[in-house]
Structure 1
Amino acid sequence: MTQEQMLDELAQMSRGTLDERMGIRVLEASPERVVATMPVEGNTQPFGLLHGGANVVIAESVGSIGANMAAGPGRFAVGLDINATHHRSARSGIVTATATALSIGRTLAAYDVVITDDEGNRTCTARITCMLRDLPKG
């Protein structure tokens, strides 16, 4: 499957999900690295800043995509732990989340996620760990 076909498949899978409602768009995806964007507009808290929870949502999304790809056929990933440190606020534009694999094993996958604003400033750093499991039989 080409990268373009995979991105189309991910976009179709996102229909009707939180990712779609938040405007998350995957630009690149592999088990080792996932890149996605999200608009600030529509994802703010009452003071006009990007909501911290929105950072966690995009971080969970990119980490989970990478982990599910790493799990392989007949397997899937579930989030086990996520944490985020918010460094600076974003008020407009688009943020970009880049998940980089820290460790991919048989049962766990961990990703470092860096979120930046339009100017390349780091706004958030997150880490997500996913458990890799076999699909239920039957």
Structure 2
Amino acid sequence: MIWKRAVTLEALNAMGDGNMVGLLDIRFERITDDALEASMPVDDRTRQPFGLLHGGASVVLAETLGSVAGYLCTEGDQNVVGLEVNANHLRSVRSGRVRGVCRALYTGGRHQVWQIELFDEQSRLCCSSRLTTAIV
């Protein structure tokens, strides 16, 4: 297991109260020994004017997953901040929920690199993202 902090899905979901995570209805749904998963609706909050999932909303889900996963890999008063995020938007989504799966590519003492993949309700890859964080 890569996680250094004990946490429940209930506690992770409570972190979204009063911020963008809650506003977009991002829900943490699964934590395994080496992955963190969350979902987000494709609705009026997250679609662009042409009716498709907004690329920026996809990045919000990806960065949320990577940042929270990064935090779970720290100890004590350590925290993480994002240094760089990129995303390749591979398939459009018009409705339903997208599911993000976050896995570590590297968890060092000062930096972390996270791979986050977003899938539609048919489990088709929609977005591939990478987040680099610094431990502060």
Q: What TM-score do the two structures reach when normalised by structure 2?
A: 0.90
CA shift for structure 1 position 34: 1.1
Q: 1:91 aligns with which of 94, 97, 110?
A: 94
By how many angstroms is 1:6 displaced? 1.7
Question: By percentage of residues, which structure has more helix?
Answer: 1
Q: CA deviation at 1:30?
A: 6.0
What stretches of structure 1 of length at least 5 have no aligned partner?
A: 134-138
Match of 1:48 among 48, 51, 55: 51
RMSD over aligned CA atoms reads: 1.3
Find the aligned partners of 1:16 and 1:30 in 2 and give their Cα distance. Answer: 26
**Contact residue 63 and residue 128 of structure 1 kept, 8 A:** yes
Find the aligned partners of 1:105 and 1:15 in 2 and give their Cα distance: 30
Partner in structure 2 of residue 37 of structure 1: 39
Answering whether residue 54 of structure 2 is matched by residue 65 of structure 1, we say no
Unaligned 5+ residue runs, structure 2? 1-6
Work out whether 1:75 is the aligned partner of 2:78: yes
Identity of aligned residues (%): 35
Which range moves more in the overlay, 122-131 or 9-18? 9-18
Whether the 8 Å contact between 1:31 and 1:70 is mirrored in structure 2 is: no
Which portions of structure 1, spanning 4 or more consecutive aligned residues, are displaced by more than 4 angstroms? none
Give the paired residue count: 129
| Correspondence for 1:15 among 14, 17, 20 | 17
Structure 2: how far apart are the matches of 1:54 and 1:30?
A: 24
TM-score for both structures, normalised by structure 1: 0.89
